[in-house]
Amino acid sequence: MKFVQRLSVVSLLFATALASLVVAEESMWFGQLKSGGYLWVETPEGSTLKLNGSPIEISVPRTLVGFGRNESGDIILERQLPYEEPKIWSLPVASRSYLEQRVEGVPPRTLDPSPEEWERMQRDSAALAKARQSVTPDNTGVTMPFAWPLYGRITGVYGSQRWYNGEPSTPHWGIDIARPTGTPILAPADGRVTLADDLFLSGKTILMDHGQSLTSSFLHMSDLKVQEGQWVRQGDVIGLVGSTGRSTGPHLDWRMDWNGVRIDPALWVPAMDDVCEIKGSGDELVILLHGLGRTSRSMNAMADALLDNGFSVCNQNYPSRNETVQMLSSYVASAVQKARMEGKSQVHFVTHSLGGILARYYLAYSSHELDGRVVMLAPPNQGSEIVDTLEQWPGIFEQIMGPAARQLSTSPESLPNQLPPISIPVGILAGDRSSDPWFDGLFEETANDGKVSVESTRLLTMKDHKVVPAGHTFIMNNRDVQAEVISFLRYGHFLKDELAGE
């Protein structure tokens, strides 16, 4: 009978699939494979890595590679693990087209400096080069999800060909964000300050080393709030918006560099317009994170319940079928950063399914000081039994569900089972009513919600766990579940009474 059920599941899912079956090798990299982008390669202890035949110094557990403004075409990546034959992949780096931007009103002296100012520019250039060569052994910054350092109107983008006062200049290497003078600028990730000075062209400038030769620069500030040598954590105020140096108005110019290669900072964060809007006036904010193949609309009923109970909400949307967990976690980081910028006293999370893994990844690798709580609804904390079966058809499975889905198996090596514990209080609600009865044969008669078994929802460090009569797909719309969520956010535990209807 179970064999027949399994066949039915496969037939139901794939009978209409017209794409040819391509059994893809498990991806050991992720990133933005385009000009100005970057690539992360998983490099366990003892592995070696070559790019286009040249050795690259590795870091554990993964190594960063950056691509310049005009780099495109196929690259050859070779990785060798201990006691294994090397594996070679050819990966396409997509080309990009760039805008042309004409800027008027630039201070003439920054375009035609005096001999003394020219000498100062040379000293500044040497200081910047030295600051970028500083290598911190601490790689916590480079590996964490990055967040926007400032929210505002984008007035300039990476790679654009600049003209100043009608004269051609070099490409623009950063992203310009306009805000009033004095607006706080927050660190996008952890790092060590390797330069904090007033420079001729870039004005009051900070350079941070995030690790693995990745640096961020922050230009044109009105005031510097950190000093050279200082270790800065994500979300710390590092300076204030200004218009110093070659500038025509108050803004931040945020740039990034990897090993002397200028890369695009906008590729490290979600599109600014995609970061959730904060609704409500409560001091405590709840960030809502939806499940795989869903959108933020699936969490609207939960958002309304939280608003009715005095919480502010930030219902974050993200392309759950298009990116890996690592890439999607930058949406979480930017939502938290936005909450801090708006002065929210506490930041909580309420998650559904995949959203719980995004929260765990963010909390494991970010250093934001958080004093809130997390409620997970139907999370695949130990993986999903559905994925175990469907990943036998990796080509079609990934086409339909995306790269994040393939990371959610119950294997000990899967991402959920490799994430470290998180320190803030976690409550978990697991459903035991199948929303997908055609999958029942995959669960070996264990309690499940149609996608995840009750047992797979558990975490060693959870503060509370409760089984509720709900299915996976719509658990967040259940009013009793919403009451349980509010109880945990307020008191750190679920309701003691039985849920209505049990």
Q: Please tell me the total count of domains within the chain.
A: 3
Looking at the fold, whether 348 and 416 belong to one and the same domain comes out as yes
Rg, C-alpha atoms of the chain: 25
108 in any annotated domain: yes
Does some domain include residue 1?
A: no
Whether residue 6 is contained in a domain is answered as no
Same domain, 162 and 58: no
User: Residue holding tokens 């719509």?
Assistant: 474
Same domain as 156, residue 112? yes
- Show which of 71, 93, 115 is a domain's final residue: 93
- The mean per-residue pLDDT over the stretch 259-281 comes to 97
> How does the average pLDDT of the chain come out, rounded?
89
Strand partners of residue 301: none
**Are 468 and 430 within 8 A, CB to CB?**
yes
At 307 the pLDDT is 98
Under DSSP, the state recorded for 401 is H
Given 3-state DSSP classes, what are the helix, strand and coil percentages for the chain, each rounded to the nearest 5?
25, 30, 45
**Pick from 113, 69, 65, 56: which is nearest to 91 by CA?**
65
- 173 and 75 inside one domain: no
Of the candidates 478, 454, 480, 474, which has an alpha carbon nearest to the alpha carbon of residue 465? 454
Do 259 and 308 belong to one domain?
A: no
pLDDT of residue 26: 45
Residue 360 phi, psi dihedral angles, 5° rounding: -60, -45
Are 235 and 365 in the same domain? no
Do 230 and 290 fall within a single domain?
Answer: no
Q: Is the pLDDT of residue 69 over 50?
A: yes
- 215 and 104 in a common domain: yes
Tell me, what CATH number does 250's domain have? 2.70.70.10
Same domain, 180 and 296: no
pLDDT at 449 (0 to 100): 85
Q: Which of 72, 93, 114 represents a domain boundary (last residue)?
A: 93
Asked if residue 244 belongs to a domain, the reply is yes
In a domain, 8, yes or no: no
Q: Are 182 and 239 in contact (CB under 8 A)?
A: no
Domain of 318: which CATH number?
Answer: 3.40.50.1820
Q: What pTM was estimated for this model as a whole?
A: 0.90
Q: Are residues 89 and 132 in the same domain?
A: no
Q: What is the pLDDT of residue 439?
A: 64
The confidence score (pLDDT) of residue 170 equals 82
Residue 16 has pLDDT above 60, yes or no: no
pLDDT band at 226 (very low <50, low <70, confident <90, very high): very high
Residue 62 sits in the same domain as residue 153: no
Give the model's confidence band at 133: pLDDT under 50 very low, under 70 low, under 90 confident, else very high. Answer: confident
Measured distance CA(400)–CA(293) in Å, rounded: 9
pLDDT of amino acid 22: 29
- Could you tell me if residue 11 is inside a domain? no
- For the record, the structure tokens of 165 come out as 């006062």
Nearest to 280 by CA among 298, 300, 306: 306
Does residue 498 form part of some domain? no
d(C-alpha 369, C-alpha 190), whole Å: 12
**Final residue before a domain boundary, out of 268, 291, 324:** 268
7 occurs within a structural domain: no
Residue, of 260 and 434, whose pLDDT is higher:
260
Q: Report CA torsion sign: 329, 331, 332, 333.
A: positive
Whether residue 201 is found in the same domain as residue 79 = no
φ and ψ of 13, to 5 deg: -75, -35
**Residue range 374-401: mean pLDDT, rounded:** 83
Give the model confidence (pLDDT) of 155-190 as tens digits: 999 999 887 777 777 899 999 999 999 999 999 999
Tell me: the pLDDT tens digits for 84-111? 999 999 999 999 999 888 877 778 877 8
Domain span including residue 66: 33-93
Summarised one tens digit per residue, pLDDT across range 284-328 is 999 999 999 999 999 999 999 999 999 999 999 999 999 999 999
Contact by Cβ (8 Å): 301, 362: no
